Amino acid sequence: MDKLKMFGAVAGDIIGSVYEFWNTKSTDFELFNKNSRFTDDSVMTLAVAKWLTEDEAHTIHYLIYCMQEMGHLHPNAGYGGHFHGWLWEEGPQPYNSWGNGAGMRVSPVGLYAKTLDEALALAAVTASVSHNHPEGVKGAQAIATSVFLAKQGKTKAEIKTYVENTFGYNLDRTIAEIRPGYSFDVSCQGSAPEAIIAFLEGNSFENVIRLAISLGGDSDTIGAMAGAIAACMYPIPDEISERCNSLLTDDLREIKDKFFEVVSKRDEE
């Protein structure tokens, strides 16, 4: 696996972080400024990566452990209210959420899985511990599927057809059509399809991220989902990957690097 593929979600998150509450409706914006940072999207993405690499049985118990451990290490990353409470509960239970937290953290599944069935099953597990509403599970599976198919070298037309037929998302819209009436939407059903559309429409990694963030709304999460898919088709420019790597903490970098090593060995098997 190309080591930079793991940076797709992280880069989209970090670039989008400054625009989450100060939305832009243009693709002409600064990629980074002094306030750029990783958020809960990166932390939970890497928690899922940690789970996949450390627990061969892929148990729900260890997934919860990884998510809570990383949440406790990075408590100010910007978690939603319900999820923040979940992170600190003893024996946390799913709370029927359809939020896009299910879609933003799932991309390591698409990179790790060897088959589409495995990607779908693992994606459902990552969502079910908190976001067990059908729309939450569907959003996670749609993003994981898109990552997996892009990693496998499928064309955009093939990815679009499969996602539409399997998940029922309307991907026939354009970013220009969506942008004027789009507002802050933290639901999977209101942001995962838009992230996939940004990927389908973009012509480079940076262009995909710019399109995704130009929608406004939950910019870091849409950027993370779109970036995760885009990184499987387009190279991430060095200036983006290097800047994002510099903004991660040592523990997050360590998880990222270990995930790359494990997935690369799986790819060789």
Q: Is the pTM of this model over 0.85?
A: yes
pLDDT in tens, the chain (269 residues): 666 677 899 999 999 999 998 999 999 999 999 999 999 999 999 999 999 999 999 999 999 999 999 999 999 999 999 999 999 999 999 999 999 999 999 999 999 999 999 999 999 999 999 999 999 999 999 999 999 999 999 999 999 999 999 999 999 999 999 999 998 889 999 999 999 999 999 999 999 999 999 999 999 999 999 999 999 999 999 999 999 999 999 999 999 999 999 999 888 87
Residue 2 is predicted with a pLDDT of: 67
Model confidence pLDDT, tens digit, residues 100-111: 999 999 999 999
Residue 3 is predicted with a pLDDT of: 62
33 burial class (0-12, 13-18, 19+ CB within 10 angstroms)? exposed
Residue 184 is predicted with a pLDDT of: 83
Instruction: For residue 72, give the amino acid letter.
Output: H
Residue 125 is predicted with a pLDDT of: 98
Residue 151 is predicted with a pLDDT of: 95
- C-alpha 246/C-alpha 77 separation (Å) is 17
Q: Specify the residue for token string 């499928």.
A: 154
Domain 3-86+95-264 sits in CATH 1.10.4080.10: yes
Residue 249 is predicted with a pLDDT of: 98
Model confidence pLDDT, tens digit, residues 158-187: 999 999 999 999 999 999 999 999 988 899
What six digits make up the tokens of 240? 């983006």
